[in-house]
A and B are shown apart, each in its own frame.
Chain A
Amino acid sequence: MTDRQRRDARAGEALLAPALVTLAALAAWPGLWVLWLSLQQRIPIFGIDRFVGVAHYVFLAGDPRFWNAVRVTLTFTVVSVALEVLLGVAVALALQRQQRGRRVAVALLLLPWALPSVVVGRTFEWLYHPSAGLVNFLLGGRAVNWLGEPALALPALVAADVWRTMPFVALLCYARVLTIPDAVYEAAHVDGAGWLATVRAITLPLLRRVLLIAVLFRTLDALRAFDLMFVLTGGGPANTTETLTVYAYRSLFQTLQLGFGAAVGAIVFALVMLVAWAYLRAVERAEATA
C-alpha cells in the first residue's frame, strides 16, 4: 500500500466516523440497554428491581404462550411474504404488458401502500364485519366469522397484510422491469421465444436481485408485525394471532413487566438480525454470480 492509499484510507475512516457514531448512539446503545434490561426483574410500579440473569429466557423456553407467538409470527411471515412476492411479480409483469392507463394503474397500486396502517385496520374491520361486511356480502350473505374463528383469523390478517404491502413488491419489480432494454426482448422474439419462455429466461433472472431486496424488507417487517393484529383481533381468538411483538407489548406496556417484556423484545431483535444476516449473505452471493 502506498502512502497515498494509506492517507486515503485514513481520510475515509474519518469521514465514516460521524455515521458510525450516530448509528452506535441510535441503534447499538438502545439495543444493548434492552439486553441489559432483559436480565432484570423490573416492575417499577411495584418497586421491584433486581438482577435475575437469564431467568426470563429460561421461563420463556418453557412458556407455551411464547412458543405459540413464535409459531404465529413465523407462519404469518412465511405465508404473507410468499404471497406478496408471487402477486407482486405477477402485477409487475401485467403492468409491463399493459398498453394503456399505466399511470393510473400505478397510482391505484400505490394507494394501499400509502394508507396509514390503522386506517387499513379499520377498513378491514368493516370488510370482515360478520353481518354487514363486504366480504360476507360477496359470499352470498353467509355470516362467516372471519376474525373470531381460530382457523380463519390468521389467514384473514395475512390477506389484509398482502393487500397492503404487495404494491411495494410490485413497484420495485416494475421499476426493474422498465430498465430491461427492449433490444433484449426483441432478440428473444427473433429467436422465436414465446412470452412464457421470455419471462422465464430473461425477466425473472433479471429480477432476482431486486426480489432479494424486496423479500428482505418484507420479511423484516413481517417478523415485527403488530398493528394489524392489535387493531383487528387483539391477538385473539385464543391467542391464535398473537405475534411476538404483541406479546412483548402486552408484557411491557399493559402489565409493565419491563424486564420480561425486554426479554421478548430481545428475542425479536435477535430473530430479525439473524434473518437479515442470512439474506445479506444470499444477496452477496447473488451479486457474485450476477
Chain B
Amino acid sequence: MALALLLALAGCARSGDERAPITLVFKHAKILGPADPVPGLLRQFEARHPGVRVKPESLSWNSDDQHQFFVINMEGRGAAFDVMMLDVVWVAEFARAGWLLDLRPWVSAEELAPHFPSTIEPATWNGGVWAMPWLMNVGMLYYRTDLLARHGLAAPRTWEELRAQVARIRAAERDARLDGVVWQGRQYEGLTVNALEAIWANGTRVLDDAGAPLPDPERAAGALAFLRSLITSGASPSWVTAADEELTRRHFGDGRAIFHRNWPYAMDLFQQAGSAVRGKVGIASLPGRAGVGDGVGSSGGAHLGVDRRTRHPELAAALVRFLAGAEAQKAMSVGGALNPTRMALYHDPDVVRAHPDFPAIYELMLRARPRPVTPYYLMLSTTLQPEFSAVLVGVKTPEAAVAQARRRLAYLLEGLR
C-alpha cells in the first residue's frame, strides 16, 4: 500500500517535471484604483508564451515597506522573483548595487524613445538600461475653476500671482473656512518633492551635474523662505507642515481650498459622483516665480526591472517589454486609473474618452523633471527632510538649514565616493 502510494507520487512528480512550466514571479505594489488590469495582461502574456506562467505577488502599498522588502531580499541573496515594479527613485540605486539586469541586449534606444523624457533618464543611468518606464506621475496645480471665474481670474503662472489671487478671493468670499493653497509639508518624501519643485521654480537645483549638493545656497534658501512665507502669511493653513497627499486631497475635495498641489490621481476622485467639487476643478502647471521662470512639476512613477539572478533573463525581459508596451499600457490606462509613460497614449481617442484630462496632463508630463537621478537619492532625500521641515515650522532660518544640509551631505557623499 505504502509502496503503491510512493510510486504514484513519483509518477506525479515526473509527469509534472515533463511539462515543466516555467514560472516567472512578478513582484509589484498593490495596484490601487477601481480595477486591476494586471492579471488580465499577465494571462495575455502567458497565451503568447506557451509553457510560461506568471505569478503576480503583491507588496504592501507603502513605498518604504517595498523598499525594505527588496533590499532585504536582494542583499540576502534570497530573492525569489524575476520581475519587479520599482519606484523610479530606486532604479539608479539598485543598478549601482548590481541587483538589476542590464536590459541592453533586448531593449534598444528606439524602444525607449516613445516614453516621456523624464522617465528615460532614471532608466538609463550610467549608460545601461536598468528598467523600462511603466507608470508616470507629475506634480501639478489643481484649482477651483468656479471661484477663479467668479472673480475674473485665470490660472496663476507665478506663485506671487497665486498669492494675490488667494487674498482677493478670500476677501471677497468672506468664508473663514476657505483656505488658500494646500500642499505636502510633513517630514517625508512628499516634502522633498514639494521643496524640490520650489527650488526649481527659484532657478536652482538640489544636485548639480558634478554631484555637488545645493550648488546655489542663496536661491535654495530663497525657495524655502517662500514656502515658509506661504504659511506665515496665511495663504496656506499652518497644518500643511503635517500634511501628506491624502490629507490635502480630502481638504480640497471638500471644497475648502482654492489651490492644491498633488499628483494626477486626485482628478478622478474630484470628478466622482457625490464629490463637493465635481466639475469645478481645473489643472495647470505648477507656478513659477516672478522674474525667474516657469514652474516645473516633479515626475514620479514606477519602472519595471529584472532581478539580475533570474534563471530566465530572456523571458523576464520579454515580460517587462510586454508590460511597458503600447498595448499593455493602453489597457492599464483605459481599464484602470493609471497614467502611462508612453506619450502617444495621451492623445489616443480610446484613452482620452476614459480620461478627458489626458491631453492637458500630457503638456505637464512633457515638461516634468525627475528627482535627482543618483544612487544616493534616498540618503539625499532623508537628509534634506528634517532641514526643510525645520524651516517650514520656523525653528531654523532657511539659510541655516541650507548650510547644515550642505555640510551634512558633503560629508556623507564624500565618504561614499
Contact B68 A237 (CB under 8 A): no
Residue-wise, chain B 214-258 has the 8 Å CB interface mask toward A (1 for contact) of: 000000000000000000000001111111000100110010100
Residues of B within 8 A of A (CB): 64, 67-68, 71, 75, 93-94, 96-99, 185-188, 191, 237-243, 247, 250-251, 254, 256, 375, 378-379, 382, 385-386, 389-390, 392-393, 395-396, 415-416
Contact of A254 among B191, B378, B416 (CB under 8 A): B378
Cβ–Cβ contact A238 & B382, under 8 A: no
**Bound-state Cα–Cα, A150 to B251, Å:** 22
Q: Which residue of B lies closest to A147 (CB)?
A: B242
Q: What are 20 residue pairs bridging A and B, where the CB atoms are less than 8 Å apart in the complex?
A: A44-B97, A45-B71, A45-B93, A46-B96, A130-B242, A147-B186, A148-B238, A148-B241, A149-B238, A149-B242, A150-B393, A233-B187, A235-B386, A236-B187, A237-B242, A237-B392, A238-B187, A238-B390, A238-B395, A254-B382
Contact A146 B389 (CB under 8 A): no
Q: Are B389 and A254 in contact (CB under 8 A)?
A: no
* CB contact list, A94-150 vs B, under 8 A: 129-132, 143, 145-150
Residues of A near B415 (CB, < 8 A) are 41
Q: Which residue in B71, B241, B250, B390 is a CB contact (below 8 Å) of A253? A: B71
With the chains together, A92 CA to B382 CA distance in Å? 44
Residue ranges of A at the interface with B (Cβ–Cβ < 8 Å): 41, 43-48, 65, 129-132, 143, 145-150, 153, 233-239, 242, 250, 253-257
The distance from the CB of B233 to the nearest CB of chain A, in whole angstroms, is 16
The CA-CA distance from A244 to B321 in the complex, in Å, is 43
B237 touches A149 (CB 8 A): no
Q: Which residues of B sit under 8 angstroms from A41, Cβ to Cβ?
A: 415
Contact B71 A256 (CB under 8 A): yes
5 closest A-B pairs by CB: A236-B187, A148-B242, A45-B97, A148-B241, A130-B239
Q: Choose among B67, B237, B242, B395 the residue that contacts A146 (Cβ–Cβ < 8 A).
A: B242
Question: Smallest distance from the beta carbon of B232 to chain A beta carbons, Å?
Answer: 13
Using CB atoms, name the residue of chain B closest to A235. B187
Smallest CB-CB separation from B191: which chain A residue?
A: A236
Report the separation of the CA atoms of residues A256 and B68 in the bound assembly, to the nearest whole angstrom: 9
B240 nearest in chain A by CB position = A148
Decide: B93 and A237 in contact? CB cutoff 8 A: no
Let me know if A250 and B382 touch, CB within 8 A.
Answer: yes
In the complex, are the beta carbons of B67 and A46 less than 8 A apart? no
